[in-house]
Structure formats: C-alpha cells, structure tokens
C-alpha cells in the first residue's frame, strides 16, 4: 500500500464526495475486506457495496487482493491503494466556481480566526488573499513531495506525517516566493 495517492483526474476526485465510498476507503485502509463484510459493517445492501467497489477499483483507489471460494460463491477481498488520497492542487485551480467560493470563504474564516489568537490585522482582504496563496503553494509543494515517494514501505505513521511536514517546510523555505509571501504576512499581522 502506498502512503500517498495523488488524484489528478477530476472524475476520480468527485468519487470522494460520496460518503459511502469514503467510509469504504477508510475501512479498506485498515484491512482487506470483502463485499459482505463491508455491507455488514456499513449496514448497506451488498449489491450497493459491490457497485461502489467496482467504481473505486476502476478508478484505481482500491485493489483486489484475493478471491476465496465458499461453495459456489467466490468472495472477493479488497484493500485501499493508499493510506492517504490527495486531490491535486491543479484540480482546485481549474475547479468550478463553487469550489473557488468555498476556498475563498475558508481563507476569510482563517483570516478572522487569527485575531482570536491575539494577533492584530491591518488589512483583512489582503490577509485573505495571502492565505489563499499560502494554501495553494503549500499544497503544491506537498503534492510534489508525495509524488516523489521513493520508498513507500519506509513511511509509517506518525513518523511519515512529521517527515512530510518537515520536508514541506524545507521546500517552502527554499523558495524566494514563499519567503516574500511570509514577509507580506508579517507586514499586516502583528501581536
């Protein structure tokens, strides 16, 4: 199982919007399971779970691990293809206006929350724009790092989370653009 799977196809990313599919993925990250096991845990018809499994498998989000014969019935077992699924930053840049509106609202909320930590803000609209830039830049660097995962078997949580965080910050710090962005943030946020 890979640590990260970058989703670069908009149609595949849309699959993650379905609650049942997300539940299936989360269960299959823990251990391999059959259609019937998933149906029992999720309290859903096996036919519905089977449909979701076919869609997830076709998208490359899960893998068939084994088949076991029980009388005349073949029971198929699946596992998740990755521990973490990351929707590519490039999809959010091309996204429809509803996603852009959501992203802008998130940045506004974060900008306002900064004040609750005792920070003063001289220009809230500029801060909102900078937060959007920061988030996009950080996602891009993180995705690039996750894509270059050389030895996935060496990555084990929680060390992999800390490692990715450190490497993301190192790569961000190397960038002149990032340092200028941080300087701009410091110029409008004070304590």
pLDDT, position 100: 67
Per-residue pLDDT tens for 3-14?
888 888 888 888
pLDDT score of 14: 85
pLDDT at 56 over 90: yes
Any bridge partners for residue 6, and if so which?
Answer: 86
Compute the Cα dihedral for 149, 155, 157, 162 and give only its sign: negative
Percent of the chain residues topping a pLDDT of 90: 56
Q: What is the pLDDT confidence band of residue 97, given thresholds at 50, 70 and 90?
A: low
- Average pLDDT on 144-152 reads 72
Kindly report, residue by residue over 150-178, the tens digit of the pLDDT: 665 666 767 877 888 999 999 999 999 99
Domains of the chain: 2-84 (1.10.10.10), 88-190 (1.10.20.10)
């Amino acid at each position: 199982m890979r640590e990260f799977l970058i989703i670069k196809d908009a149609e595949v990313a849309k699959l993650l919007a379905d609650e049942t599919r997300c539940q299936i993925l989360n269960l299959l990250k823990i251990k391999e399971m059959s259609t019937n096991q998933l149906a029992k845990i999720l309290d859903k018809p096996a036919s519905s779970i089977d449909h979701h499994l076919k869609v997830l498998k076709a998208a490359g989000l899960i893998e068939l691990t084994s088949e076991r014969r029980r009388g005349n019935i073949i029971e198929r077992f699946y596992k998740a293809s990755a521990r973490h699924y990351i929707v590519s930053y490039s999809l959010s840049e091309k996204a429809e206006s509803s996603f852009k509106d959501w992203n802008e609202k998130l940045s506004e909320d974060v900008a306002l929350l900064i004040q609750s930590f005792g920070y003063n803000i001289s220009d809230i609209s500029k801060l909102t724009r900078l937060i959007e830039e920061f988030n996009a830049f950080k996602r891009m660097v993180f995705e690039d790092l996750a894509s270059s995962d050389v030895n996935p078997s060496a990555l084990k949580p929680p060390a992999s989370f800390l490692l990715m965080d450190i490497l993301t910050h190192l790569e961000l710090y190397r960038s002149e653009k990032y340092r200028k962005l941080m300087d701009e943030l410091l110029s409008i946020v004070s304590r």
